[in-house]
Structure formats: structure tokens, C-alpha cells
Amino acid sequence: MTQIKFGTSGWRAVIADEFTLGNVRRAVSGIARYVASQKRSGAKVIVGRDPRFLGETLCSLGAEILSAHGITPLVIAEAAPTPAISYAVIQAKADGAINFTASHNPPEYNGIKFSTPDGAPALPEVTKKIEAEIVAADLGGSLPAGKRAEVQPLDPRRMYLARLREIVDMSVIKKAGLRVVFDPMWGAARGYPDVLLREAGVDVETVHDYRDVLFGGHAPEPDDHLLQDLRQKMQEVKAHIGMATDGDADRFGIVDEDGQFFQPNYIIALLFDYLVETRGWKNGVGKSVATTNLINALAKYHKVDLHETPVGFKYIGELIKADKICIGGEESAGLSIRHHVPEKDGILAGLMCCEAVARRGKSLSKQLEELFAKVGSYCPQRENFRLTPEVKEKFTEKLRSDPQEFFGRKVGEVVRKDGLKLVFGDGSWVCYRLSGTEPVVRVYAEAPSASELGTLSAAAKQWIFE
């Protein structure tokens, strides 16, 4: 029997391979047993989905299992963004949410995210208990004999859009005459930021604004190489900015007026600087250990506390809940801000970029130039390398060492918050993280210039295979 393990963003698997109706029943049963163990009676759990294949069926199945455990299912009829579901958990005072989504994974995948009553992704201590409940149910745990709870409908759209209107200054965007193009990548954000912008009188165009369970034949990932249709539409309408979201809208992709893709590292840094400037928020900033040290430099410049976390947005979410940061983000295109959900919000990221371009009257490229002029330039990069079993075993042992030198560079600091990060005297660094699900090592590197990054990247690869 398949062992169901919840990773940094829930459980994901290939449809009809490990992601079967039988395994979904097991996973949801484990969640239901966990929720029931936390609350004697009156529990309610939101059930939502992205637009993937069989989503409606999965929501019905999930609601049926929750109901059998005496837990009221609050079922969302249409595909909904992960951040909207997160906000709905808080507003409805629910005991959690089951979200059937595989986020940015290819169309053959599906998955389950579980959010806790605070709207945040479940922490490891929670998912371990859920995994234990799945095993307990497999060993013969029976369904409760009590009365079934009644299924109730829930529409998170209105409350979530109302919240975005409070956060984002739509009047500034309209006044600037901004032209925006939005690409939901056939995903759950359809009818969210585009509707909000149109209501405010902003000129907005959309691409891929219909349901396609195959997401155009590739992963619904708002990355540089998949945004050509967005760029083409931007060129047609002479747009000032393009924004995209992934399958469940928790990740973002931003394109500048000249068609340049802005990597998430830079977007997080730009919005951090913008929030300090316009909101006066200086309570702190959060970033994963693999995210650009441009944020470290800005924290020092603005005299703001820096919080560096392991990879996984749940750790950023904890900082948001505690109001320790004005913004927190990861280089993998996830961010959220103060007084908002402790969950990644790709819709908010795009709208905040629109506001920054509108208020400052400058392209993102120009804003980044000015940022570099303040604190120095930073060129980050991520690469994945597949490992043979022999190389992986040797390299795993190597990661336990504390190198004093790295190809002629003196190691100034060794960071072990997540994987191995080596920081050098000139501020450049390299970080290695082994994947927990495949024989891959993720290598993050950053240097002051593109040429220096090339040299560092080559050395980082050599260190793996030497």
C-alpha cells in the first residue's frame, strides 16, 4: 500500500498511478481523523480545488468523508486560488481546508494541500499526525457511527477580492493609466485580478482565460520560457506590465514593459523596498535561506530585522502570523505581506507590482537599477543536477563537511538552516539542497555580476562531481 507523505506543499502524485481515488480516500480520512481529534464537535473544513481533471469529483468525495466523520464540509463549487481559500479559512473560522491541487506541477499530477485554522500551510508537526492517522485508518479504523454533517456551500471570491481592495491602491493604478496583461495559465486565478482591475477602470487584457485541464500541454508554471503568449499580447496593446499566476495562483510571474521576465528574487526585493517606502512598515523581512541576499542588504539599508528560514513557505507564514515581517518570500515565486494570509499569494504579488509601477512612474527595470545603486548588485541563479546513486551517496557525505575554502575562495560563513550554504567574503554564496523525492541536488548561487556568477556556478557544479 502506498505510503502517503506530505512534503513542503502537501501530498502530490501522478493521477491514476499513486494519486488514485483509493489513496485520496485514505488521505482525506487521515485529515478528518486529525481534525476530529482536535475538536470534540462542531468542526467545519473547507473543501476546494484548482481546475485539474476530476476536481469536482474529488471535492464531492472529500465532502462525503468529512461528513461521515461529523465534520461540516464547506464546499467551494468553482476552482479557487489557494490564497482565496486560505483567507476563507480565517473569515469562516473554519478548522482547516482541504485543497485538491498540484499547484505548478505538470497536468498529469494532482495533490492535496491541508491548511490549518489560521489559513497557513500545515506545519510538519501537523502533517506527521495526519500521516499517523492515515496509517491508523489503514489498520482497521472504522468510520464514526454518529450523524453525518450536512454539506454547505462556500464562495470565497467576494471576501477575498474585498480584502485585495483594502490592500492594493487600485486608484493609483487607474490614475497612472496603466495597461496590464494577465495570464492565469488556465488556472484558478481566472476572474480574480482581471475582474478587480476592470472594476477599478484599469485597462487589462487576458490570455489563456478558459479551463484546460492539460494547461496547454505543459506545467502551469509562470516561468520565463512559458510566457510568450503574455509577451505577445503585451506587445499588441503596449502594456506597461504583465502578470501571471500558476495553477492554484500561489506563485507569480512578472514581465516588464520591454518583455523582460523578472525573476522572483528581484520582485520580492523590489516590493520589500516599496512597502517600506509607501507603508512605512519596518517590523522585519523574511526570506528563505536560498533567496537572494539583496534582501539582506536592503534590510541593513532600511534598518529592518532580517529573518532567514528553511525552504518552505510555512516558515514565512509563521512570521506573518506573529507580525514579525512586512513581507516574506521565496525565490520559487512565493510571497505574502503583513496583515494578509500566511500563505503564498501570486495574485497579490502581481497587483502590488502594478501599484509600484503606477505610483513610482518607473518600469521595474528602472526600479531595480535604483535598488542596485543603493545597496550593490546581486545576480542569483538556481540549477538542478541529477545524481547517480554512487554520486549521491558520496555527495551526501560531503555535505556534512565544513569547507574552509571553495576553489580559492575563503569561506566566511557556513549556514545550515536548510542544506549547506557557503558565504564568501565578497558577499557571493552557494547553497546545496538535496531533493527529498528524487535523486536531484538543487544548487543556488549568487554573485555581484553575471560574469562572476558564471565562474561561481561552474565551481559549484564541479564541487558536486569532483
**H/E/C letters for each residue in 114-150?**
EECCCCCECCHHHHHHHHHHHHHHHCCCCCCCCCCCC
pTM above 0.85, yes or no: yes
3-state SS class at 198: helix
Its CATH architecture, for the domain 159-375, is 3-Layer(aba) Sandwich (3.40)
Confidence band for 406, pLDDT divided at 50, 70 and 90: very high
**DSSP letter at 7?**
B
d(CA 330, CA 251): 10
CA distances from 80 to 24, 97, 161, 206, 294 (A): 19, 12, 12, 18, 33
More confident residue, 220 or 1: 220
* Residue in the structure block whose three cell numbers are 529573518: 307
Identity at 52, one-letter amino acid code: R
CA distances from 430 to 179, 184, 285, 377, 446 (A): 38, 33, 21, 16, 7
Q: Do domains 11-155 and 159-375 have the same CATH topology?
A: yes
pLDDT at 8 > cutoff 80: no
Range 277-298 burial, b when 16+ CB lie within 10 A, else e: eeeebeebbbbbbbbbbbbbbb
The pLDDT value given to residue 38: 92
Domain layout of the chain by residue ranges? 11-155, 159-375, 379-465
Its CATH architecture, for the domain 11-155, is 3-Layer(aba) Sandwich (3.40)
Q: Are 184 and 246 in contact (CB under 8 A)?
A: no
Q: What is the pLDDT of residues 307-366, one digit of tens each?
A: 999 998 989 999 999 999 999 999 999 999 999 999 999 999 999 999 999 999 999 999
Strands (E), 257-305: 261-262, 285-288
**Best CATH choice for the domain 379-465 from the list 1.10.510.10, 3.90.550.10, 1.10.3720.10, 3.30.310.50:** 3.30.310.50
Closest CA relative to residue 21, chosen from 67, 50, 59, 52: 59
Q: And the C-alpha cell for 245?
A: 499566476
Confidence band for 144, pLDDT divided at 50, 70 and 90: low
Half-sphere exposure of 181 (CA within 13 A, CB side): 27
The pLDDT value given to residue 149: 87
Confidence band for 141, pLDDT divided at 50, 70 and 90: low
For helices 346-360 and 157-167, the axis angle rounded to 10 degrees is: 30
H-only helix segments in 411-449: none
